[in-house]
Structure 1
Amino acid sequence: MRIEISGHQIDVTQALRDYVQSKLAKLERHADNLLDVHVILTVDKLEHKAEATLNAAGRTLHAEAVAPDMYAAIDSLLDKLDRQVVKQKEKMTNHHRGEASIRTADLG
């Protein structure tokens, strides 16, 4: 997975980069086909905003979070992305019963 991290009105320190990368590594547990992620960190007065666009095979997910602390915004962002990835994975799973599950007793 390719990770791009950029900042608007903020210098992205190595500590922030490491924090985002460690959180995104946990996201890979739920999704097996992630291609790339673009994370934008923004500071506007007292508001810290983190937004991410995640490209996976056949779909694009976007989330953003605002918090008074940048680390809290990143945590909230990754929670939102994690829920979206899990929801998308559930949609891709076939929940219908196959024809093999029909009992022969019901036919007779």
Structure 2
Amino acid sequence: MNLKISGHHLELTQPIRDYVQTKLERIRRHFDNVIDVTVILSVQKLSEKERRQKAEINLHMRGNVIHVESIHEDLYAAIDLMIDKLDRQVLKHKDKIQDHQHEGIKRIPETQSAA
């Protein structure tokens, strides 16, 4: 899995990088077929009092790309929200793949097989 973390209007420190990497381990536990991950962390300054922290991620896997973003006042909370959303979407994608593989098998009703 290739991981790229970048920051816009934000200096990325090692604790932030470590936090993102530990949170992404949760995704890797559920689904191993991840090819490339791009994380963008940014700060939006609307006014002097309002500052929004934005975290977004693009997860490339075989046959699909998942994009998730979250906005919060705290950067760590924005990362947590982003990972929660991503986790739900990855599990949903994994369920679709597993259900699709068993879709071709048709069962014969018992009433017809007895006759």
TM-score (norm 1): 0.90
**Matched residue SS, 2:10:** coil
Q: After TM superposition, where is structure 1 displaced by more than 6 Å over at least 4 residues in a row?
A: none
Deviation for aligned residue 1:84:
0.8
Deviation for aligned residue 1:60:
0.5
Find the counterpart in structure 1 of residue 48 from structure 2: none
- Flag structure 1 segments of 5+ consecutive residues without an equivalent: none
Find the counterpart in structure 2 of residue 98 from structure 1: 105
Find the counterpart in structure 1 of residue 38 from structure 2: 38
Instruction: Choose 57-66 or 89-98, whichever is displaced more.
Output: 89-98
Find the counterpart in structure 2 of residue 52 from structure 1: 57
C-alpha distance in 2, partners of 1:21/1:57? 21
Q: Does 1:11 align with 2:17?
A: no
Q: Does 1:79 align with 2:81?
A: no
User: Quick one: percent identity of the two aligned structures?
Assistant: 47
The CA RMSD over aligned residues, in Å, is 1.6
Per-residue Cα deviation, 1:27-66 (whole angstroms, up to 9, x for no partner): 1111120011000000112100000000001110000000
Per-residue Cα deviation, 1:76-101 (whole angstroms, up to 9, x for no partner): 000111111111111111354734x4
Deviation for aligned residue 1:102:
3.3
